[in-house]
A and B are shown apart, each in its own frame.
Chain A
Amino acid sequence: MKALLYKDLVSGKSTYLLALVIVLVIAAYLTFNEAMVIIPFLFAFMPMVLNTISFSKETKSDFAKFAFTTPITRKDYVKSKYSVAILFGMVALLSGCILGCLECVSLNLALIIGMVSFALPIIISSIQIPFILKFDEGRGGIVIVAINFLIFASAWLIGDSLGGLVDLIQTISKLNIYLIVGIICVITILILTISQNIGVVIMKRKEF
């Protein structure tokens, strides 16, 4: 799996750098507009963008045909595709908690923001990856566009009704915080596990 992550990193480094610059610009814009709380949610986009880049490069070079003539298993291949989402989930969790504290919201609220931003990239990637594995750049791409649209629309709504959202989160945060965090965590892991298993089944049936 290390090899696949290394390959993704070196083959797409310039594109990844560009994606990072775009995220930083958006983050700066959000900070300027005093909407820093949205920054962790930006990480939801990142794995989706990186996965799309990685898959499109692989499709172009028919990389899977080479990979599966090496000791790389189809299971490892699928798992590697989720690593980026998990990594960004962690970063989002951390940044969510830090920004929550910086914005002087309660610790509970900061933790919820962190957990939601941890769950989002993983859940979005869990929906995206099996579709790409199954349909390659065709129908998988359409699903990605649809997910992108939904996220943009959500971000737009969040931007418009930030106060309402904060109220909602504050209401939820009055519930048992550990219960909420636990539920989000379990749901995320469940979706991730189901998605990985579906991905492995798809890959095992796939021919090259």
Chain B
Amino acid sequence: MLNNAIEINNLTKSYAGFSLGPLNLNVPMGCLVGYIGENGAGKSTTLKAILGLIHPDSGEIKIFGKNIKEHAPTLMNRIGVVFDTLNIPDEMKIKEVDKFCKLTFDTWEEVTFHHYVTRFNLQGEQKIKALSRGMKMKLSLSIALSHQAELLILDEATSGLDPVVRDEILDILLDFLQDETHTVLISSHILSDLEKAADYIAFLHNGKILFMEEKDMLVERYALCSLDHELIQNLNPDAIVGKRKHAFGQDLLVIRDLMPTCIEMSKPSIEDIMVYIIKGEENAEE
């Protein structure tokens, strides 16, 4: 039985001035994995490589145990994709998109599509160009969810949307995950969304995965504390992951287990972890 919906082994891809990998990443079946990292870290490049939109320099990508290059048309019936933009000509109407998808996907379900279109208050006669960004994302999600996809891949799909729409989309993703064979890989800058929904967090930095961990373990492993300079001198240096200097001392992201128990610590958010790790590295370079 397959344990992973996506398996990436030693993936590398180089562009002028940027290099991704070697990257190893497994996305467990039945989970929502948040793929985070700063702009230009390589998130979209990874997702494009998974979808076969770019050609990796080396490495292997398997989706449901099959090589994407060899089985693309069959696999694409099982994958729903939502990009940050809707890549459908502006002149098409929603009902025409339905017809197009019916002719494209072997597993297209018109009833499901109409269900989502109605749920999102979209009209069949509306042209793509008349839709707002939020509505376009809802249409994109409707398409992704209407062909019996078992894996959803979302690339910055929630960025630029208002909190209500984002929340609605997250609810739908959580609904989708009620089926234990369904999996979601989502890259997002809005880490609070992932905080609510993700089972795992994979953190990409400068083209390399720094960690891929269960979200709950992650927030347990790390802690935030604010200490003066004198106290910091006495700490185990391995405990400090990142720091921010201020007038009275420093705010630290630390590894909880390596810290003395007497120090007061708080739970970090995923955003804290990401920012402190990146800043920590920059401070070290300085």
Residues of A within 8 A of B (CB): 2-3, 6-7, 10-14, 57-58, 60-66, 68-73, 205, 207-208
Please indicate the chain A residues that have their CB under 8 angstroms from the CB of B64 in the complex: none
Is there contact, CB below 8 Å, between B92 and A68? Answer: no
Is there contact, CB below 8 Å, between A10 and B104? Answer: no
Please indicate the chain A residues that have their CB under 8 angstroms from the CB of B77 in the complex: 71
Residue among B92, B101, B105 with the most chain A CB within 10 A? B92
Indicate whether A10 sits within 8 Å of B52 (C-beta atoms), given known contacts A58-B89, A69-B79. no
Q: Pick the 4 closest A-B CB pairs, nearest first.
A: A3-B103, A66-B87, A11-B89, A69-B81
How many chain-B residues does the 8 Å CB contact rule pick out? Answer: 31
Please indicate the chain A residues that have their CB under 8 angstroms from the CB of B51 in the complex: 68-69
Please indicate the chain A residues that have their CB under 8 angstroms from the CB of B104 in the complex: 3, 70-72
Is there contact, CB below 8 Å, between B87 and A10? Answer: no
Is there contact, CB below 8 Å, between B76 and A70? Answer: yes
Query: Cβ of B53 < 8 Å from any Cβ of A?
Result: yes
Is there contact, CB below 8 Å, between B53 and A66? Answer: no
Is there contact, CB below 8 Å, between A68 and B53? Answer: yes
Query: Measured between alpha carbons, how far is A65 from B52 in the docked complex, in Å?
Result: 10
Interface string of B95-133 (1 = CB under 8 A from A): 010011101111000000000000000000000000000
Indicate whether A60 sits within 8 Å of B90 (C-beta atoms), given known contacts A3-B100, A10-B96, A70-B104. yes
Interface string of B153-183 (1 = CB under 8 A from A): 0000000000000000000000000000000
Minimal Cβ-Cβ distance residue in B for A15: B91
Please indicate the chain B residues that have their CB under 8 angstroms from the CB of A66 in the complex: 81, 83, 86-88
Indicate whether A61 sits within 8 Å of B88 (C-beta atoms), given known contacts A69-B51, A72-B104. yes
What is the interface of chain B mostly: helix, strand, loop, or mixed? loop
Query: Cβ of B40 < 8 Å from any Cβ of A?
Result: no
Q: List 11 A-B contacts (CB under 8 A).
A: A7-B100, A10-B93, A10-B96, A10-B99, A57-B91, A61-B87, A61-B89, A70-B104, A71-B74, A71-B106, A205-B55
Interface string of B28-63 (1 = CB under 8 A from A): 000000000000000000001001111100000000
Is there contact, CB below 8 Å, between A68 and B90? Answer: no
Query: Measured between alpha carbons, how far is A208 from B77 in the docked complex, in Å?
Result: 19
Please indicate the chain B residues that have their CB under 8 angstroms from the CB of A70 in the complex: 76, 101, 104-105
Query: Measured between alpha carbons, how far is A205 from B101 in the docked complex, in Å?
Result: 25
State which of A2, A7, A61 has its C-beta within 8 Å of the C-beta of B90: A61
Is there contact, CB below 8 Å, between A71 and B105? Answer: yes
State which of A2, A13, A14, A63 has its C-beta within 8 Å of the C-beta of B87: A63
Indicate whether A60 sits within 8 Å of B103 (C-beta atoms), given known contacts A71-B73, A71-B77. no
Indicate whether A6 sits within 8 Å of B103 (C-beta atoms), given known contacts A68-B52, A208-B54. yes
Indicate whether A65 sits within 8 Å of B83 (C-beta atoms), given known contacts A71-B74, A71-B105. yes
Indicate whether A73 sits within 8 Å of B73 (C-beta atoms), given known contacts A58-B89, A65-B87, A208-B48. yes
Please indicate the chain B residues that have their CB under 8 angstroms from the CB of A60 in the complex: 89-90
Is there contact, CB below 8 Å, between A207 and B89? Answer: no
Query: Measured between alpha carbons, how far is A207 from B56 in the docked complex, in Å?
Result: 10
Please indicate the chain A residues that have their CB under 8 angstroms from the CB of B74 in the complex: 71
Is there contact, CB below 8 Å, between B105 and A207? Answer: no
Minimal Cβ-Cβ distance residue in A for B53: A208
Query: Cβ of B72 < 8 Å from any Cβ of A?
Result: yes
Minimal Cβ-Cβ distance residue in A for B107: A71
